[in-house]
Structure formats: C-alpha cells, structure tokens
C-alpha cells in the first residue's frame, strides 16, 4: 500500500551550488548528505513538512543523473518516491498491471531505505520510486 509521497528526487549539477538555494532562499535545513555508490550520486536531503527533497548530483558520467542532466541541462524534478509498506509487493502489483519495472527487486538506496523504480515509459513519463524503511 502507498502511504504517502516520501520524497521528490531533484537532479542538480552541483550540491555545492544547489544546497545554498534551498537553505538561504527557501529557509530549509539540509538534514543529511550521503554518497550512494550504487546509483553514482551524491545526495542531500531536506524536509518540507512530511515530504523530503532528495537533491541528486552525479559522481560519474555513467550516473543516471548525468544522463538526465544531458537532456535537462538546468536540472529539475527527476522522480517521485512513494512511501510504501512493502516494496516487493508494490512492484508485483505494478507488474501485474502491465507496468515495466527498472528493478524487479528492491535494493538499498540512500538513508538505508529499500527502493525500486518503475520505468518511465510505463508511468506516463514520471519516473516512479517505491521506498520503505529496511526492516
């Protein structure tokens, strides 16, 4: 079951450039920074009420975020992440509905969460993530 929007993933060229905008112009506080080698990104997390913002900076030209920035040079919203009870069950529900999956098994993403992505070709152009705390 989907419980909430957990976070929005936002692609940026540089965290050092982007973090001051969120802190100074919007008055949000950077809560957590982490490198996620499996996704070749560095992340910075902010909270806007109950929804988080996950800024994503590529650490390699092979990163999915680097590819996104080639098409969207200014950066922008990269994905929406739904908080779910059970990532595997949510993937199965989507697959049963005919949705193409990027990941057919959850993997460990930032902040120790289990995450998996649906393919944007099957989701009307919105890259969709499911995430759940690791139990």
Residue 45 CB, nearest approach to Zn ion (Å): 10
CA distance 33 to 54: 9
Task: Pick the closer one to Zn ion by CB: 14 or 110.
Answer: 110
Distances 57 to 42, 47, 54, 89, 118 between C-alpha atoms, Å: 5, 18, 10, 30, 21
Task: Pick the closer one to Zn ion by CB: 54 or 57.
Answer: 54
Residue 79 CB, nearest approach to Zn ion (Å): 6
Residue 60 CB, nearest approach to Zn ion (Å): 18
Task: Pick the closer one to Zn ion by CB: 9 or 58.
Answer: 9
Task: Pick the closer one to Zn ion by CB: 80 or 122.
Answer: 80
CA distance 121 to 35: 27
Residue 65 CB, nearest approach to Zn ion (Å): 11
Alpha-carbon dihedral 79, 82, 86, 88, rounded to 10 degrees: -30
Residues that bind Zn ion (CB under 5 A): 9, 54, 81, 129
């Amino acid at each position: 079951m989907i419980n909430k929007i957990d976070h929005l993933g936002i692609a940026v060229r540089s965290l050092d450039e982007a973090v001051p905008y969120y802190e100074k112009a919007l008055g949000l506080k950077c809560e957590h920074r982490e490198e996620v080698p499996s996704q070749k990104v560095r992340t910075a997390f902010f909270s806007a009420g109950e929804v988080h913002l996950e800024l994503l900076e590529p650490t390699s030209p092979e990163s999915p975020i680097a590819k996104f920035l080639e098409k969207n040079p200014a950066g922008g919203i990269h994905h929406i992440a739904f908080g779910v009870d059970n990532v595997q069950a949510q993937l199965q529900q989507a697959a049963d509905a005919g949705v193409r999956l990027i990941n057919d098994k959850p993997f460990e993403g930032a902040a120790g969460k289990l995450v998996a992505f649906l393919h944007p070709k099957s989701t009307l152009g919105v890259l969709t993530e499911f995430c759940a705390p690791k139990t």
